[in-house]
Amino acid sequence: MRVLVVGSGGREHAIVWAVSRNRDVDKIYAAPGNAGMSGLAECIPIEATDLETLADFARANRVDLTIVGPEAPLALGITDVFAARGLKIFGPGRASAQIESSKVFAKEFMKRHSIPTAQFSAFDSLEESLAFVRKRDGALVIKADGLAAGKGVVIAQNSREAEKALRSMMEDRSLGDAGAKVVIEELLEGPEVSVMALCDGETILPLAPAQDHKRAFDGDRGPNTGGMGAYSPVPVLDPPMMERVYSEILVPTLEGLREEGIPYKGVLYAGLILTGDGPMVLEFNCRLGDPETQAVLPRLDGDLVSLAQACVEGRLSEVALHWKNEACVCVVAASAGYPGRYEKGKSISGLDRIKEHEDVLVFHAGTAFRDAGSGRKEIVTSGGRVLGVAALGKDIETARCRAYQAIKEISFEGIFWRSDIASKR
């Protein structure tokens, strides 16, 4: 069996790792991949958003299944392009991917189907949005409508901060076209949790929950990032609360999309906040989370390829999920300056020593090869989030200790990581 994984980050490396554990898979391609994936897959220099070239490659190389990691190709319609050519692909079509690609669509969808979420207003006019926030007291959340790589949300503590965020998004276009429209909503209080679920259009099957750490620095300080670490399971999401998530959020979302003529196949990611009134949706994503995937897939006691095939073929009702008893903690090593400007090409050392650590995996995110002379290649940084060090353990604290012991073996100029991943539970 031949599998193509689309993407180049830590999430995609975790997917490649999971795919490689299927004995029926004899060839894995990664497009474009990264230095870490190259040990398990053949990296193909095709960008994740080059949809037609990816489809040409899949057909020419007799790929049996394509798994899409990032949101951008899904939002552009990669699933529709592949399906039109009779190619099997795991991921929602362009219409249903709007659940992530447009915050306005998602919020209005939730309102239509009575899915619990914060009160909101949507704007495409800067002046109207400014007039709205000037009449409000207290904290507000400003969200760019479009895709912003996890950086399109600002928590404004007052109207002055809200106005600054709106001008940055809508006037200065700091996020490009993603900020042409915005959603302004009330700030909800409570612990946040990520629930990713497999969907085949009719059935929805939740994966083990995880908790992400979005802020750049310890104590949830600093700017939002794509995610600085994650852990699974999440003790605060107990079985009764999980049942509410399933019945009040996941099932109505799948049914609502089907009712609107856009049946959802792939991974539905619900970013939730557990309030005093119950679980509420902060955001939906149309794919696996990053770095949540790196904390969830190592716990899966089963086969990702078979699960993806069941979703594509509409057989998810026949599937049962099983999980290892161990917890998993993933800590991200990032480049100095991230999520702002950062330098690339910093030599990475210490990766070989990780092999000596028990139950530890390193998932590459922003890495590449560089010619080191004499026919040698060295691994260097090529992104803001460089590596994710994931560790399993009998409980969260054991996994956490293992992850931090391992990450200290790695070094590159400017490396930093949060020291408090999974410490607040």
SS3 sequence of the chain: CEEEEEECCHHHHHHHHHHHCCCCCCEEEEEECCCCHHHCCEECCCCCCCHHHHHHHHHHCCCCEEEECCHHHHHHCHHHHHHHCCCCEECCCCCCCHHHHCHHHHHHHHHHCCCCECCEEEECCHHHHHHHHHCCCCCEEEEECCCCCCCCEEEECCHHHHHHHHHHHHHCCCCHHHHCCEEEEECCCCCEEEEEEEEECCCEEECCCEEECCEEEHHHEEEECCCCEEEECCCCCCHHHHHHHHHHHHHHHHHHHHHCCCCCEEEEEEEEEEECCEEEEEEEECCCCCCHHHHHHHHECCCHHHHHHHHHCCCHHHCCCCECCCEEEEEEEECCCCCCCCCCCCECECHHHHHHCCCEEEEECCEEEEEEECCEEEEEECCCEEEEEEEEECCHHHHHHHHHHHHCCCECCCCECCCCCCCCC
**pLDDT of 425 above 70:** no
Q: Evaluate whether residue 402 is within a structural domain.
A: yes
> What pLDDT does residue 107 have?
95
pLDDT in tens, 80-110: 999 999 999 999 999 999 999 999 999 999 9
> What pLDDT does residue 149 have?
75
Shared domain for 204 and 176, answered yes or no, is no
Last residue of a domain, one of 258, 286, 318: 318
- In CATH, what number is assigned to the domain containing residue 379? 3.90.600.10
Shared domain for 264 and 143, answered yes or no, is no
Shared domain for 231 and 175, answered yes or no, is no
**pLDDT of 141 above 70:** yes
> What pLDDT does residue 137 have?
82
> What pLDDT does residue 151 have?
76
Shared domain for 314 and 332, answered yes or no, is no
Q: Evaluate whether residue 424 is within a structural domain.
A: no
Mean of pLDDT values over 330-341: 97
User: Which carries the bigger pLDDT value, residue 424 or residue 410?
Assistant: 410
Does this model's pTM top 0.75? My answer is yes
Total structural domains within the chain? 4
325 falls in which pLDDT band (50, 70, 90)? Answer: very high
**pLDDT of 71 above 80:** yes
> What pLDDT does residue 117 have?
97
Shared domain for 356 and 397, answered yes or no, is yes
> Which structure tokens are listed for 377?
């290649």
Shared domain for 394 and 361, answered yes or no, is yes
Strand order in the sheet with 360-364: 211-212, 229-232, 327-334, 385-393, 360-364
Shared domain for 390 and 333, answered yes or no, is yes
Q: Evaluate whether residue 97 is within a structural domain.
A: no
> What pLDDT does residue 138 have?
86
Boundaries of domain holding 350: 327-407
What does the buried/exposed string (b/e) look like for 300-309 if buried means 16 or more CB atoms within 10 Å of the residue's CB?
Answer: beebbbebbb
**pLDDT of 172 above 70:** yes
- In CATH, what number is assigned to the domain containing residue 156? 3.30.1490.20
Q: Evaluate whether residue 114 is within a structural domain.
A: no
Q: Evaluate whether residue 420 is within a structural domain.
A: no
Q: Evaluate whether residue 112 is within a structural domain.
A: no
User: Which carries the bigger pLDDT value, residue 333 or residue 153?
Assistant: 333
pLDDT in tens, 236-247: 999 999 999 999
**pLDDT of 150 above 80:** no
- In CATH, what number is assigned to the domain containing residue 307? 3.30.470.20
First to last CA, the chain: 41
